Structures are given as structure tokens and as C-alpha cells.
Amino acid sequence: MSLPRSITIPLFLGLSLLVSLPSPATSLTCTSQKFSDNKVYSNCVDLPVLNSYLHWTLDSSNSSLSIAFVAAPAKPGGWVSWAINPTGTGMAGAQALVAFKNEGVVTAKTYNISSYSSVVPGKLSFDVWDLKAEELSGGAMLSILAKVKLPENAETVNQVWQVGPSVTDGGLDSHEFAPANLDSKGVLNLKSGQSSSISGGADSRTQQKNIHGVLNAVSWGFLFPLGVIIARYMRVFPSLDPAWFYLHVFCQVSGYAIGVSGWAIGLKLGSESHGIHHSGHRNIGIALFCLATLQVFALFLRPKKEHKYRTWWNMYHHGIGYITIILGIINIFGGFNILSPHRRWKIAYVAAIAALAVIALLLEVITWIVFFTRKRRNNNA
């Protein structure tokens, strides 16, 4: 059965219009949003990513900022967050306000995010009051309302916002690392009422962190273990003497130079990160520098093979070397937890270390085969 043409065309156009209408969550703009207490803010802006919006009013008399942040969680039951970062432009160091549903009740909490691996509720570095959360658009969006204390005469603040998929046992599950999530930061100009975004690449501080991580992974985490493998297994073959020694020295000296460069960048980052402490990572880094320096100077104190102290020197050199490698790898994984790079970088490093381990295992087997073969040959001679 077919409908008359006079009915079909209007019906088709009506359905098409209905389908093309955006959902309530995505059709919102900051100017159309209303809050339960009917409060009106002096400024509002549609943030460029993550379907998020910010309303704010600056009170110059007491250097406070009234804000209302509105966003849609990544998934139903997820969380939303807005933060001020007093020390940088990224998430590490951010002083965050977070809203989520806890047992059906919308809750707001404060999070002092000292590092990517430490995301737990805590007191912020500035005062916060009148903090609360509520639902908008029938629960499709969450809002955070609060007043925060700013430094006197502050003209701009570094803002960071984020949305996450879920909450497990009161803890925030990790957000995605899509471009929109990585670009959710900007500078809020309190005088002009404008918000400028920071996107299209990492800021200079993030670049320094990335360089620090790459240099340390290459030096302590790859060149030093490679140098040890060369020294332990190539020397078994007389034809490779003294080539193995020069390759070993090249790896260790290159690794030391690169590692010290990464270590110096790490010290600079630490001195500029007021209130953010990674004590374990820093202390292991200092220990690595000291041990590696001892190894380099040991090269100039290396006794001849026939010298009576050569055995003691070998014990010292090998022991310090293995400790340096173990601490280096531990600290690299600690750096991964702090920096939280894309998962592919961690996979790439694990693959590189696994490849070195497999090579070392194969060479260990070959070394023992050569050892027993020579021993049997000498016994039969």
C-alpha cells in the first residue's frame, strides 16, 4: 500500500528535518545555558573542544573568580573537569574541580594533580568555596560551579578542561588521548573576557619533558645495556679483540654524554615545577649520574690484565655497571608513569629492551657452548 503523493512529500520533509536537528546536548551554546539558581555570569565562551563551555565573573575587590563549567562526559556515568594550572599549561600541576555521579548523586571534588600518575582528591594550592555540581540537559551534561581565589591583580589564568568515560570505586578512570583531549587547554584573559586555545603542538615545557624522556631512554635504557652486551659476549672471540673494547667504550661514553644532557634537563624541569615533586624519580636520576660518572673515571684507572688489582677492578666495574642498568630501566618506567606519553612509545621501548634481552640470552648460550668446547679441547690436548 502506498501513501498519496500529497502526504508522502510533507512527511518525508518533516522526518528529514527531525533527523537533522542536533541533540539537546550538542545544540547548546553558553548563552543559552541556565543554572538552577538563575545566576548570570559576566562572560561565557564555547570552548573549542570536548563539547565544553565556561561561564565566569571576576570580582576584583577580593581577587576571586566565580565560574560555571559545563561539559558532556565522554560516556554516561563519566566525569568532567575544569582546572587552573599555576605552573604550566598542561594537566600535570593542575588544580582541578571535578564533577561526576556517585551512587546517583552528582558530586563535585577538588584534585591536586601533582603528576599524571597521581590523580586523587586533595586540597588545592588556592582557596575554593561554594563548590557544587549539577546536571543539565536532562543529565546529558554536568556543570561545576565554584568560586576560586586568584593571585592579586591576576590578568590571565592557564585553564585545562577534560572529560572521562567512567568512575570506578570513586576514582576517575583515564580519559582518551585523542587530539581533542590533548588540545583541551588554553589561556583565559580575565580583562578582555576572551579565551585563547593552546593547540597545534606541545608547549615548550612539554617539549622539554619529551626531550628529557627520549634522551634518558636512549642513554640509560639502551646504550648502556648494549655496551654491556658487547663487552660480555664479543670478547669471547679472540678475532674481535680489541674491536669489542672500542665498541664498548663508544656505547658507554655516548650513553653517558646523552644521559647527562637528559639529567640536566630533568634538573631544570624540577627547579621550575614549584609544588610538584617526583622524589623517587629525581633521587634515582642523581644516583645514576653519580654511578655513571664513576664508571667513566674507572676507564682511566683500568689496570693491565696481569696486574694484581685487576680482579678487584673487574668486580667493581661489573657491579657498578649492572646496578646502573637496573636503576636506569626502573627510572625510565617511572618517567613513563609521570609523563604518560602515548602508549606506542612505551610499547616501542619495551620491544627494544626485550630485543636486547633475547640477544643477550642467545649470546649467553653461545658463550657457554664456546667455553665448554674450548675446555674439552684443552683437556684432550
What's the predicted TM-score (pTM) here?
0.52
Q: What is the pLDDT of residue 22?
A: 39
Kind plus residue range of the DSSP H or E element containing 23: none
Q: What is the pLDDT of residue 376?
A: 85
pLDDT band at 117 (very low <50, low <70, confident <90, very high): low
Q: What is the pLDDT of residue 196?
A: 66
CATH 1.20.120.1770 residue ranges of the chain are 204-380
Q: What is the pLDDT of residue 42?
A: 86
- DSSP symbols for 233-299: HGGGSGGGTTHHHHHHHHHHHHHHHHHHHHHHHHHHHHHH-TT---HHHHHHHHHHHHHHHHHHHHG
Neighbours of 80 (CB within 10 A): 27
**For range 109-134, the mean pLDDT:** 83
Q: What gap in Å lies between CA 375 and CA 216, rounded to an integer?
A: 41
pLDDT at 23 over 50: no
Q: What is the pLDDT of residue 118?
A: 61
- Give the angle subtended at the CA of 186 by the CAs of 134 and 112, to the nearest 5°: 60
For residue 54, which phi and psi values (nearest 5 degrees)? Answer: -130, 130
How long, in residues, is the chain? 381
Q: What is the pLDDT of residue 234?
A: 86
pLDDT at 372 over 90: no
Q: What is the pLDDT of residue 105?
A: 85
pLDDT band at 2 (very low <50, low <70, confident <90, very high): very low
Q: How far is CA 123 from CA 96, 140, 144, 149, in A?
A: 10, 28, 17, 13
What pLDDT digit, counting tens, does each position of 217-258 carry?
999 999 999 999 998 888 878 888 889 889 998 999 999 999
What pLDDT digit, counting tens, does each position of 293-325 carry?
988 888 788 888 888 888 888 898 889 999 999
pLDDT at 367 over 90: no
> What percent of the chain is predicted at pLDDT more than 90?
29
CATH 2.60.40 residue ranges of the chain are 25-197
**For range 156-175, the mean pLDDT:** 85
Q: Compare 344 and 53 and report the one with higher pLDDT.
A: 53
What pLDDT digit, counting tens, does each position of 88-99 carry?
777 778 889 999
Task: Cell numbers for 217, please give them.
Answer: 631512554
Does domain 204-380 fall into CATH 1.20.120.1770? yes
Mean residue pLDDT across the chain: 82
Q: 65-79, 89-103, 108-122, 214-228: which has the minimum mean pLDDT?
A: 108-122
For residue 37, which phi and psi values (nearest 5 degrees)? Answer: -90, 10
pLDDT at 274 over 60: no
Task: Cell numbers for 233, please give them.
Answer: 659476549
Contact status, residue 82 vs residue 63, Cβ threshold 8 Å: no
CATH class of segment(s) 25-197? mainly beta
Strands 156-164 and 185-189, how do they pair? Answer: antiparallel
Q: 43-57, 70-84, 268-282: which has the minimum mean pLDDT?
A: 268-282
